Structure 1
Amino acid sequence: MITRVDNYLHAVPLSGSVAEQVGPFTLFRSTTVWPYYARPVPGSGRTIEPSDVEAVRSRCEELGIPLSFEWVVETCPSLGPAAAAAGLTVVEHPLLVLERDDFRPATADARCEILPAEEALLRQGRAVAGLAFGDAGTAVGAAGPAERDAKAAEIPDDMIKGLLGRARDGVTVSAAAFTDDGLVSSGQHQPVGSTTEIVGVATLPAMRRRGLAAAVTSTLVEHAFANGVDLVLLSAESDAVAAVYERVGFHRIGFAGAAE
Protein backbone atom coordinates (compact mmCIF):
# COMPACT_ATOMS: atom_id res chain seq x y z
CA MET A 1 0.00 0.00 0.00
CA ILE A 2 2.64 2.55 0.97
CA THR A 3 4.66 1.72 -2.16
CA ARG A 4 1.58 2.38 -4.28
CA VAL A 5 1.05 5.70 -2.52
CA ASP A 6 4.70 6.66 -3.04
CA ASN A 7 4.48 5.83 -6.77
CA TYR A 8 1.31 7.91 -7.13
CA LEU A 9 2.91 10.89 -5.36
CA HIS A 10 5.82 10.68 -7.78
CA ALA A 11 3.50 10.64 -10.81
CA VAL A 12 0.99 13.33 -9.88
CA PRO A 13 3.29 16.38 -10.33
CA LEU A 14 3.93 15.43 -13.96
CA SER A 15 0.65 17.05 -15.03
CA GLY A 16 2.15 20.44 -14.20
CA SER A 17 5.91 20.11 -14.43
CA VAL A 18 8.99 18.91 -16.26
CA ALA A 19 10.91 16.19 -14.41
CA GLU A 20 14.70 16.35 -14.07
CA GLN A 21 16.97 13.91 -12.24
CA VAL A 22 19.37 15.41 -9.70
CA GLY A 23 21.27 12.64 -7.95
CA PRO A 24 18.79 10.42 -6.06
CA PHE A 25 15.96 12.94 -6.60
CA THR A 26 13.49 13.87 -9.26
CA LEU A 27 13.17 17.65 -9.37
CA PHE A 28 9.76 18.69 -10.70
CA ARG A 29 10.19 22.03 -12.49
CA SER A 30 6.78 23.69 -12.50
CA THR A 31 4.98 24.67 -15.72
CA THR A 32 2.05 26.08 -13.74
CA VAL A 33 1.53 29.15 -11.56
CA TRP A 34 2.66 27.42 -8.35
CA PRO A 35 6.02 25.78 -7.53
CA TYR A 36 6.64 22.06 -7.14
CA TYR A 37 9.42 20.21 -5.31
CA ALA A 38 11.97 17.42 -5.42
CA ARG A 39 11.20 13.83 -4.38
CA PRO A 40 13.46 10.82 -3.82
CA VAL A 41 13.07 8.29 -6.62
CA PRO A 42 10.68 5.54 -5.38
CA GLY A 43 12.24 2.19 -4.68
CA SER A 44 15.84 3.33 -5.01
CA GLY A 45 16.72 2.43 -1.42
CA ARG A 46 19.34 5.19 -1.46
CA THR A 47 20.48 6.67 1.84
CA ILE A 48 20.18 10.42 1.40
CA GLU A 49 23.13 12.54 2.57
CA PRO A 50 23.24 16.30 3.22
CA SER A 51 25.43 16.59 0.09
CA ASP A 52 22.53 15.20 -1.98
CA VAL A 53 20.28 17.93 -0.59
CA GLU A 54 22.93 20.54 -1.39
CA ALA A 55 23.09 19.35 -5.00
CA VAL A 56 19.36 20.03 -5.36
CA ARG A 57 19.83 23.42 -3.66
CA SER A 58 22.48 24.34 -6.24
CA ARG A 59 20.27 23.29 -9.15
CA CYS A 60 17.30 25.23 -7.78
CA GLU A 61 19.50 28.32 -7.45
CA GLU A 62 20.57 27.90 -11.09
CA LEU A 63 16.93 27.67 -12.17
CA GLY A 64 15.73 30.45 -9.85
CA ILE A 65 13.09 28.25 -8.20
CA PRO A 66 12.29 27.57 -4.51
CA LEU A 67 14.04 24.71 -2.74
CA SER A 68 11.62 22.19 -1.26
CA PHE A 69 11.24 18.44 -0.84
CA GLU A 70 8.31 16.10 -0.31
CA TRP A 71 8.49 12.39 0.45
CA VAL A 72 6.94 9.43 2.26
CA VAL A 73 8.88 9.08 5.51
CA GLU A 74 8.59 5.29 5.67
CA THR A 75 10.03 4.78 2.17
CA CYS A 76 12.92 7.28 2.61
CA PRO A 77 13.65 7.72 6.34
CA SER A 78 17.09 9.24 5.71
CA LEU A 79 15.82 12.36 3.92
CA GLY A 80 14.45 14.13 7.01
CA PRO A 81 17.73 14.05 8.96
CA ALA A 82 19.73 14.94 5.83
CA ALA A 83 17.48 17.92 5.08
CA ALA A 84 17.68 19.12 8.68
CA ALA A 85 21.48 18.82 8.62
CA ALA A 86 21.49 20.94 5.46
CA GLY A 87 19.61 23.68 7.31
CA LEU A 88 16.09 23.08 6.01
CA THR A 89 12.94 23.14 8.13
CA VAL A 90 11.46 19.63 8.23
CA VAL A 91 7.87 18.71 9.09
CA GLU A 92 5.91 15.46 9.07
CA HIS A 93 2.17 15.14 8.54
CA PRO A 94 -0.14 12.14 9.04
CA LEU A 95 -0.57 10.19 5.78
CA LEU A 96 -3.96 8.51 5.39
CA VAL A 97 -5.68 6.26 2.83
CA LEU A 98 -9.24 5.19 2.10
CA GLU A 99 -10.55 2.17 0.20
CA ARG A 100 -14.10 1.74 -1.02
CA ASP A 101 -15.25 -0.74 1.64
CA ASP A 102 -14.15 1.59 4.45
CA PHE A 103 -15.94 4.70 3.15
CA ARG A 104 -18.48 6.27 5.50
CA PRO A 105 -20.25 9.14 3.71
CA ALA A 106 -20.66 12.37 5.66
CA THR A 107 -23.23 15.12 5.25
CA ALA A 108 -23.67 18.63 6.63
CA ASP A 109 -26.28 21.35 6.67
CA ALA A 110 -25.12 22.55 3.26
CA ARG A 111 -25.37 21.71 -0.43
CA CYS A 112 -22.24 19.89 -1.56
CA GLU A 113 -21.44 19.37 -5.22
CA ILE A 114 -18.69 18.92 -7.78
CA LEU A 115 -17.83 22.27 -9.33
CA PRO A 116 -17.93 22.97 -13.06
CA ALA A 117 -14.99 24.73 -14.68
CA GLU A 118 -16.34 28.23 -14.02
CA GLU A 119 -14.10 31.14 -13.15
CA ALA A 120 -16.26 32.68 -10.42
CA LEU A 121 -16.61 29.42 -8.51
CA LEU A 122 -12.95 28.45 -8.77
CA ARG A 123 -11.97 31.97 -7.71
CA GLN A 124 -14.17 31.73 -4.60
CA GLY A 125 -12.87 28.26 -3.78
CA ARG A 126 -9.29 29.50 -4.01
CA ALA A 127 -10.16 32.45 -1.77
CA VAL A 128 -11.65 30.15 0.87
CA ALA A 129 -8.48 28.05 0.83
CA GLY A 130 -6.28 31.13 1.15
CA LEU A 131 -8.17 32.39 4.18
CA ALA A 132 -8.36 28.97 5.82
CA PHE A 133 -4.68 28.09 5.43
CA GLY A 134 -3.76 31.58 6.59
CA ASP A 135 -5.62 30.84 9.83
CA ALA A 136 -4.55 27.23 10.32
CA GLY A 137 -6.20 24.72 12.62
CA THR A 138 -9.76 23.76 13.37
CA ALA A 139 -10.82 26.56 15.73
CA VAL A 140 -13.54 28.97 14.64
CA GLY A 141 -12.00 32.19 13.32
CA ALA A 142 -13.05 35.62 12.14
CA ALA A 143 -12.83 35.46 8.33
CA GLY A 144 -16.22 34.93 6.69
CA PRO A 145 -18.08 35.66 3.43
CA ALA A 146 -17.03 39.32 3.20
CA GLU A 147 -13.36 38.42 3.54
CA ARG A 148 -13.84 35.60 0.99
CA ASP A 149 -15.23 38.01 -1.60
CA ALA A 150 -12.43 40.52 -1.01
CA LYS A 151 -9.81 37.76 -1.25
CA ALA A 152 -11.36 36.39 -4.46
CA ALA A 153 -11.01 39.75 -6.16
CA GLU A 154 -7.27 39.77 -5.38
CA ILE A 155 -6.40 36.40 -6.94
CA PRO A 156 -4.23 36.90 -10.05
CA ASP A 157 -5.87 36.14 -13.38
CA ASP A 158 -3.02 33.86 -14.44
CA MET A 159 -3.64 31.63 -11.42
CA ILE A 160 -7.34 31.37 -12.28
CA LYS A 161 -6.44 30.59 -15.89
CA GLY A 162 -4.24 27.74 -14.68
CA LEU A 163 -6.95 26.39 -12.40
CA LEU A 164 -9.51 26.52 -15.21
CA GLY A 165 -7.19 24.60 -17.52
CA ARG A 166 -6.63 21.85 -14.99
CA ALA A 167 -10.36 21.62 -14.29
CA ARG A 168 -11.23 21.36 -17.99
CA ASP A 169 -8.57 18.69 -18.51
CA GLY A 170 -9.87 16.65 -15.54
CA VAL A 171 -6.46 16.86 -13.85
CA THR A 172 -8.01 18.53 -10.81
CA VAL A 173 -11.60 17.95 -9.68
CA SER A 174 -13.07 20.51 -7.26
CA ALA A 175 -16.00 20.28 -4.87
CA ALA A 176 -17.60 22.84 -2.58
CA ALA A 177 -20.19 23.29 0.12
CA PHE A 178 -22.78 26.07 -0.21
CA THR A 179 -24.98 27.68 2.41
CA ASP A 180 -27.07 30.86 2.31
CA ASP A 181 -23.71 32.66 2.53
CA GLY A 182 -22.53 31.10 -0.74
CA LEU A 183 -19.43 28.95 -1.13
CA VAL A 184 -18.03 28.30 2.34
CA SER A 185 -15.88 25.17 2.02
CA SER A 186 -13.92 23.64 -0.86
CA GLY A 187 -11.41 20.97 -1.84
CA GLN A 188 -9.99 19.02 -4.77
CA HIS A 189 -8.86 15.58 -5.82
CA GLN A 190 -6.23 14.76 -8.44
CA PRO A 191 -6.71 11.37 -10.14
CA VAL A 192 -3.89 9.46 -11.79
CA GLY A 193 -5.10 6.08 -12.97
CA SER A 194 -6.95 4.30 -10.17
CA THR A 195 -5.45 6.40 -7.37
CA THR A 196 -6.20 9.95 -6.31
CA GLU A 197 -5.20 12.41 -3.61
CA ILE A 198 -7.52 14.82 -1.85
CA VAL A 199 -5.88 18.22 -1.43
CA GLY A 200 -6.74 21.72 -0.35
CA VAL A 201 -9.84 20.95 1.73
CA ALA A 202 -10.62 24.19 3.53
CA THR A 203 -13.49 25.95 5.29
CA LEU A 204 -13.97 29.64 5.92
CA PRO A 205 -12.66 30.13 9.49
CA ALA A 206 -15.98 31.66 10.61
CA MET A 207 -17.84 28.54 9.38
CA ARG A 208 -15.73 25.86 11.08
CA ARG A 209 -17.01 23.15 13.43
CA ARG A 210 -20.07 22.45 11.23
CA GLY A 211 -18.90 19.28 9.49
CA LEU A 212 -18.36 21.07 6.18
CA ALA A 213 -14.84 19.77 5.52
CA ALA A 214 -15.95 16.18 6.06
CA ALA A 215 -18.93 16.71 3.74
CA VAL A 216 -16.76 18.20 0.98
CA THR A 217 -14.29 15.34 1.40
CA SER A 218 -17.15 12.85 1.15
CA THR A 219 -18.34 14.46 -2.10
CA LEU A 220 -14.85 14.22 -3.58
CA VAL A 221 -14.51 10.58 -2.51
CA GLU A 222 -17.87 9.69 -4.05
CA HIS A 223 -16.83 11.30 -7.32
CA ALA A 224 -13.49 9.46 -7.30
CA PHE A 225 -15.03 6.05 -6.63
CA ALA A 226 -17.63 6.65 -9.36
CA ASN A 227 -14.89 7.40 -11.88
CA GLY A 228 -12.52 4.45 -11.70
CA VAL A 229 -10.56 5.20 -8.53
CA ASP A 230 -10.19 2.51 -5.86
CA LEU A 231 -7.66 4.18 -3.53
CA VAL A 232 -7.84 7.71 -2.11
CA LEU A 233 -5.04 9.25 -0.08
CA LEU A 234 -4.28 12.51 1.67
CA SER A 235 -1.90 14.12 4.13
CA ALA A 236 -3.36 16.03 7.07
CA GLU A 237 -1.96 19.18 8.63
CA SER A 238 -2.23 17.78 12.17
CA ASP A 239 -3.76 15.04 14.28
CA ALA A 240 -6.85 17.21 14.81
CA VAL A 241 -7.31 17.61 11.05
CA ALA A 242 -6.64 13.90 10.50
CA ALA A 243 -9.54 13.15 12.84
CA VAL A 244 -11.89 14.93 10.41
CA TYR A 245 -10.89 12.51 7.65
CA GLU A 246 -10.98 9.49 9.90
CA ARG A 247 -14.70 10.15 10.36
CA VAL A 248 -15.30 9.25 6.72
CA GLY A 249 -13.15 6.10 6.90
CA PHE A 250 -9.57 7.16 6.22
CA HIS A 251 -6.88 5.41 8.25
CA ARG A 252 -3.23 6.23 8.82
CA ILE A 253 -0.42 4.37 7.08
CA GLY A 254 2.54 6.61 7.84
CA PHE A 255 3.80 10.16 7.45
CA ALA A 256 4.33 12.58 4.60
CA GLY A 257 7.54 14.55 4.98
CA ALA A 258 8.18 18.07 3.71
CA ALA A 259 11.23 20.33 3.91
CA GLU A 260 12.01 23.79 2.62
Structure 2
Amino acid sequence: MIRRVDDYLHAVPLSGSVAELVGPFTLFRSTTVWPYYARPVPGANATIEPTDIDVLRSRCAELDIPVNFEWVVETCPSLGPAAAAAGLRVVEHPLLVLGRDDFRPAKADARCEILPAEDAVLRQARAVAGLAFGDPGTAIGTAGPAERDAKAAEVPDKLIEAVLDRVRKGVTVGAAAFTEDGMVASGQHQPVESTTEIVGVGTLPSMRRRGLAAAVTSVLAEHAFANGVDLILLSAETKAVAAVYERVGFRRIGTAGAAE
Protein backbone atom coordinates (compact mmCIF):
# COMPACT_ATOMS: atom_id res chain seq x y z
CA MET A 1 0.00 0.00 0.00
CA ILE A 2 2.79 2.45 0.91
CA ARG A 3 4.56 1.71 -2.40
CA ARG A 4 1.37 2.34 -4.37
CA VAL A 5 0.83 5.64 -2.56
CA ASP A 6 4.46 6.62 -3.20
CA ASP A 7 4.16 5.81 -6.91
CA TYR A 8 0.99 7.92 -7.16
CA LEU A 9 2.64 10.87 -5.40
CA HIS A 10 5.50 10.66 -7.88
CA ALA A 11 3.12 10.62 -10.87
CA VAL A 12 0.67 13.35 -9.89
CA PRO A 13 3.03 16.37 -10.36
CA LEU A 14 3.63 15.38 -13.99
CA SER A 15 0.37 17.04 -15.06
CA GLY A 16 1.97 20.41 -14.34
CA SER A 17 5.72 19.93 -14.51
CA VAL A 18 8.77 18.52 -16.26
CA ALA A 19 10.71 15.87 -14.32
CA GLU A 20 14.50 16.07 -14.01
CA LEU A 21 16.78 13.64 -12.18
CA VAL A 22 19.13 15.34 -9.72
CA GLY A 23 21.14 12.80 -7.74
CA PRO A 24 18.72 10.56 -5.79
CA PHE A 25 15.82 12.95 -6.43
CA THR A 26 13.32 13.75 -9.14
CA LEU A 27 12.95 17.52 -9.37
CA PHE A 28 9.56 18.52 -10.76
CA ARG A 29 10.07 21.80 -12.64
CA SER A 30 6.73 23.59 -12.79
CA THR A 31 5.12 24.44 -16.13
CA THR A 32 2.21 26.23 -14.46
CA VAL A 33 1.69 29.10 -12.02
CA TRP A 34 2.49 27.29 -8.75
CA PRO A 35 5.80 25.70 -7.72
CA TYR A 36 6.39 21.99 -7.30
CA TYR A 37 9.07 20.10 -5.38
CA ALA A 38 11.62 17.30 -5.41
CA ARG A 39 10.98 13.71 -4.28
CA PRO A 40 13.21 10.68 -3.75
CA VAL A 41 13.08 8.34 -6.74
CA PRO A 42 10.55 5.57 -5.86
CA GLY A 43 12.10 2.20 -5.15
CA ALA A 44 15.66 3.50 -5.18
CA ASN A 45 16.17 2.81 -1.46
CA ALA A 46 18.80 5.54 -1.37
CA THR A 47 20.27 6.80 1.87
CA ILE A 48 20.07 10.57 1.61
CA GLU A 49 22.99 12.65 2.89
CA PRO A 50 23.14 16.43 3.51
CA THR A 51 25.45 16.67 0.47
CA ASP A 52 22.60 15.35 -1.71
CA ILE A 53 20.45 18.21 -0.43
CA ASP A 54 23.22 20.67 -1.32
CA VAL A 55 23.37 19.37 -4.90
CA LEU A 56 19.62 19.79 -5.28
CA ARG A 57 19.83 23.26 -3.72
CA SER A 58 22.47 24.29 -6.28
CA ARG A 59 20.32 23.08 -9.16
CA CYS A 60 17.31 24.98 -7.82
CA ALA A 61 19.46 28.12 -7.56
CA GLU A 62 20.43 27.71 -11.23
CA LEU A 63 16.76 27.44 -12.17
CA ASP A 64 15.70 30.20 -9.74
CA ILE A 65 13.07 28.01 -8.11
CA PRO A 66 12.43 27.30 -4.40
CA VAL A 67 13.94 24.29 -2.61
CA ASN A 68 11.07 22.05 -1.51
CA PHE A 69 10.83 18.33 -0.80
CA GLU A 70 7.86 16.03 -0.32
CA TRP A 71 8.10 12.32 0.45
CA VAL A 72 6.66 9.34 2.28
CA VAL A 73 8.73 8.93 5.42
CA GLU A 74 8.44 5.12 5.48
CA THR A 75 9.94 4.81 1.97
CA CYS A 76 12.82 7.23 2.61
CA PRO A 77 13.46 7.66 6.35
CA SER A 78 16.88 9.25 5.80
CA LEU A 79 15.58 12.33 3.99
CA GLY A 80 14.14 14.12 7.02
CA PRO A 81 17.35 14.05 9.09
CA ALA A 82 19.45 14.96 6.04
CA ALA A 83 17.20 17.91 5.18
CA ALA A 84 17.28 19.16 8.76
CA ALA A 85 21.07 18.84 8.86
CA ALA A 86 21.23 20.87 5.63
CA GLY A 87 19.26 23.68 7.27
CA LEU A 88 15.77 23.04 5.89
CA ARG A 89 12.58 23.18 7.96
CA VAL A 90 11.10 19.69 8.17
CA VAL A 91 7.47 18.86 9.04
CA GLU A 92 5.55 15.59 9.15
CA HIS A 93 1.84 14.93 8.70
CA PRO A 94 -0.42 11.87 9.11
CA LEU A 95 -0.85 10.00 5.81
CA LEU A 96 -4.23 8.30 5.40
CA VAL A 97 -5.96 6.11 2.82
CA LEU A 98 -9.54 5.14 2.04
CA GLY A 99 -10.80 2.11 0.11
CA ARG A 100 -14.29 1.70 -1.30
CA ASP A 101 -15.35 -0.86 1.31
CA ASP A 102 -14.32 1.40 4.21
CA PHE A 103 -16.11 4.52 2.94
CA ARG A 104 -18.70 5.99 5.32
CA PRO A 105 -20.56 8.88 3.64
CA ALA A 106 -20.91 12.02 5.74
CA LYS A 107 -23.67 14.61 5.57
CA ALA A 108 -23.99 18.18 6.83
CA ASP A 109 -26.63 20.88 6.93
CA ALA A 110 -25.48 22.21 3.55
CA ARG A 111 -25.72 21.49 -0.16
CA CYS A 112 -22.56 19.70 -1.26
CA GLU A 113 -21.73 19.21 -4.93
CA ILE A 114 -19.00 18.85 -7.55
CA LEU A 115 -18.01 22.22 -8.97
CA PRO A 116 -18.29 23.18 -12.65
CA ALA A 117 -15.43 24.73 -14.61
CA GLU A 118 -16.64 28.29 -14.05
CA ASP A 119 -14.47 31.28 -13.20
CA ALA A 120 -16.61 32.77 -10.43
CA VAL A 121 -17.18 29.45 -8.67
CA LEU A 122 -13.50 28.51 -8.70
CA ARG A 123 -12.55 31.95 -7.39
CA GLN A 124 -14.83 31.39 -4.42
CA ALA A 125 -13.32 27.95 -3.82
CA ARG A 126 -9.77 29.35 -3.85
CA ALA A 127 -10.83 32.11 -1.47
CA VAL A 128 -12.42 29.66 0.98
CA ALA A 129 -9.28 27.51 0.95
CA GLY A 130 -7.04 30.54 1.37
CA LEU A 131 -8.91 31.72 4.45
CA ALA A 132 -9.06 28.21 5.90
CA PHE A 133 -5.34 27.54 5.57
CA GLY A 134 -4.50 31.07 6.65
CA ASP A 135 -6.12 30.25 10.00
CA PRO A 136 -5.12 26.58 10.42
CA GLY A 137 -6.61 24.07 12.79
CA THR A 138 -10.15 23.16 13.73
CA ALA A 139 -11.06 25.98 16.13
CA ILE A 140 -13.84 28.38 15.15
CA GLY A 141 -12.40 31.64 13.82
CA THR A 142 -13.64 34.99 12.58
CA ALA A 143 -13.24 34.97 8.78
CA GLY A 144 -16.57 34.39 7.07
CA PRO A 145 -18.57 35.20 3.92
CA ALA A 146 -17.53 38.87 3.75
CA GLU A 147 -13.84 37.98 3.93
CA ARG A 148 -14.40 35.22 1.37
CA ASP A 149 -15.89 37.64 -1.14
CA ALA A 150 -13.10 40.17 -0.60
CA LYS A 151 -10.43 37.49 -1.02
CA ALA A 152 -12.10 36.06 -4.14
CA ALA A 153 -11.75 39.44 -5.82
CA GLU A 154 -8.00 39.30 -5.16
CA VAL A 155 -7.35 35.85 -6.70
CA PRO A 156 -5.02 36.38 -9.71
CA ASP A 157 -6.51 35.74 -13.14
CA LYS A 158 -3.53 33.56 -14.12
CA LEU A 159 -4.18 31.27 -11.18
CA ILE A 160 -7.84 30.84 -12.11
CA GLU A 161 -6.88 30.19 -15.74
CA ALA A 162 -4.56 27.42 -14.58
CA VAL A 163 -7.21 25.90 -12.31
CA LEU A 164 -9.82 26.07 -15.07
CA ASP A 165 -7.46 24.26 -17.43
CA ARG A 166 -6.89 21.46 -14.91
CA VAL A 167 -10.62 21.08 -14.22
CA ARG A 168 -11.42 20.91 -17.94
CA LYS A 169 -8.74 18.24 -18.42
CA GLY A 170 -10.07 16.23 -15.48
CA VAL A 171 -6.80 16.26 -13.54
CA THR A 172 -8.45 18.32 -10.78
CA VAL A 173 -12.01 17.84 -9.52
CA GLY A 174 -13.43 20.39 -7.10
CA ALA A 175 -16.32 20.20 -4.65
CA ALA A 176 -17.89 22.64 -2.21
CA ALA A 177 -20.53 23.03 0.48
CA PHE A 178 -23.12 25.81 0.22
CA THR A 179 -25.47 27.33 2.80
CA GLU A 180 -27.62 30.44 2.68
CA ASP A 181 -24.33 32.35 3.07
CA GLY A 182 -22.95 30.90 -0.16
CA MET A 183 -19.88 28.69 -0.42
CA VAL A 184 -18.56 27.81 3.04
CA ALA A 185 -16.19 24.87 2.42
CA SER A 186 -14.26 23.50 -0.54
CA GLY A 187 -11.77 20.84 -1.61
CA GLN A 188 -10.36 18.93 -4.57
CA HIS A 189 -9.18 15.51 -5.68
CA GLN A 190 -6.55 14.73 -8.30
CA PRO A 191 -7.05 11.38 -10.07
CA VAL A 192 -4.27 9.46 -11.78
CA GLU A 193 -5.62 6.19 -13.17
CA SER A 194 -7.21 4.29 -10.23
CA THR A 195 -5.70 6.38 -7.41
CA THR A 196 -6.46 9.91 -6.29
CA GLU A 197 -5.52 12.32 -3.53
CA ILE A 198 -7.94 14.64 -1.76
CA VAL A 199 -6.27 18.01 -1.21
CA GLY A 200 -7.08 21.51 -0.07
CA VAL A 201 -10.19 20.73 1.97
CA GLY A 202 -10.98 23.79 4.05
CA THR A 203 -13.90 25.48 5.79
CA LEU A 204 -14.42 29.18 6.41
CA PRO A 205 -13.09 29.64 9.96
CA SER A 206 -16.39 31.11 11.19
CA MET A 207 -18.26 28.01 9.91
CA ARG A 208 -16.14 25.29 11.53
CA ARG A 209 -17.41 22.49 13.79
CA ARG A 210 -20.44 21.82 11.56
CA GLY A 211 -19.22 18.73 9.70
CA LEU A 212 -18.67 20.65 6.46
CA ALA A 213 -15.13 19.41 5.76
CA ALA A 214 -16.24 15.80 6.22
CA ALA A 215 -19.21 16.38 3.91
CA VAL A 216 -17.05 17.90 1.16
CA THR A 217 -14.57 15.04 1.54
CA SER A 218 -17.46 12.60 1.23
CA VAL A 219 -18.68 14.16 -2.03
CA LEU A 220 -15.15 14.02 -3.46
CA ALA A 221 -14.80 10.37 -2.44
CA GLU A 222 -18.17 9.50 -3.99
CA HIS A 223 -17.11 11.15 -7.25
CA ALA A 224 -13.76 9.36 -7.25
CA PHE A 225 -15.24 5.91 -6.59
CA ALA A 226 -17.89 6.48 -9.28
CA ASN A 227 -15.17 7.28 -11.83
CA GLY A 228 -12.81 4.33 -11.61
CA VAL A 229 -10.80 5.13 -8.48
CA ASP A 230 -10.38 2.39 -5.87
CA LEU A 231 -7.85 4.05 -3.54
CA ILE A 232 -7.95 7.58 -2.11
CA LEU A 233 -5.20 9.14 -0.04
CA LEU A 234 -4.62 12.38 1.80
CA SER A 235 -2.25 13.95 4.28
CA ALA A 236 -3.73 15.77 7.27
CA GLU A 237 -2.22 18.83 8.90
CA THR A 238 -2.48 17.38 12.41
CA LYS A 239 -3.94 14.41 14.27
CA ALA A 240 -6.98 16.55 15.12
CA VAL A 241 -7.57 17.23 11.43
CA ALA A 242 -6.97 13.55 10.63
CA ALA A 243 -9.86 12.72 12.95
CA VAL A 244 -12.22 14.58 10.58
CA TYR A 245 -11.25 12.23 7.77
CA GLU A 246 -11.37 9.14 9.94
CA ARG A 247 -15.10 9.81 10.32
CA VAL A 248 -15.42 9.16 6.57
CA GLY A 249 -13.46 5.90 6.83
CA PHE A 250 -9.86 6.96 6.24
CA ARG A 251 -7.17 5.11 8.20
CA ARG A 252 -3.58 6.07 8.81
CA ILE A 253 -0.87 4.07 7.05
CA GLY A 254 2.18 6.28 7.43
CA THR A 255 3.64 9.75 7.49
CA ALA A 256 4.04 12.39 4.79
CA GLY A 257 7.20 14.47 5.06
CA ALA A 258 7.84 17.96 3.71
CA ALA A 259 10.87 20.24 3.87
CA GLU A 260 11.62 23.73 2.62
- Report the Cα distance in structure 1 between the residues aligned to 2:59 and 2:29, rounded to whole angstroms: 11
CA deviation map 1:182-241 (0-9, x unaligned)? 001000000000000000000000000000000000000000000000000000000000
For 1:130, the equivalent position in structure 2 comes to 130
For 1:74, the equivalent position in structure 2 comes to 74
Give the AA of the match of 2:247. Answer: R
Q: Does 1:258 align with 2:226?
A: no
Q: What TM-score, normalized to structure 2?
A: 1.00
Give the AA of the match of 2:198. Answer: I
CA deviation map 1:20-47 (0-9, x unaligned)? 0000000000111110000000000110
Shift of residue 112, structure 1, vs aligned partner = 0.2
For 1:105, the equivalent position in structure 2 comes to 105
- Report the Cα distance in structure 2 between the residues aligned to 1:200 and 1:56, rounded to whole angstroms: 27
- Report the Cα distance in structure 2 between the residues aligned to 1:61 and 1:14, rounded to whole angstroms: 21
Give the AA of the match of 1:174. Answer: G
- Report the Cα distance in structure 2 between the residues aligned to 1:66 and 1:140, rounded to whole angstroms: 33
For 2:24, the equivalent position in structure 1 comes to 24
| Residues 142-161 of structure 1 aligned to structure 2 (within 5 Å) | 142-161=142-161
For 2:175, the equivalent position in structure 1 comes to 175
Q: What TM-score, normalized to structure 1?
A: 1.00
Q: Secondary structure of 1:217's match?
A: helix
- Report the Cα distance in structure 1 between the residues aligned to 2:69 and 2:181, rounded to whole angstroms: 38
Give the superposed CA RMSD. 0.3
For 1:35, the equivalent position in structure 2 comes to 35
Structure 1 segments, 4+ long, off by >6 Å, are: none
Q: Secondary structure of 1:138's match?
A: coil
- Report the Cα distance in structure 2 between the residues aligned to 1:56 and 1:203, rounded to whole angstroms: 36
- Report the Cα distance in structure 2 between the residues aligned to 1:177 and 1:2, rounded to whole angstroms: 31
- Report the Cα distance in structure 1 between the residues aligned to 2:170 and 2:28, rounded to whole angstroms: 20
Residue identity over aligned pairs, in percent, reads: 82
Aligned length: 260
Give the AA of the match of 1:133. Answer: F
Structure 2 gaps of 5+ residues are none
Structure 1 gaps of 5+ residues are none
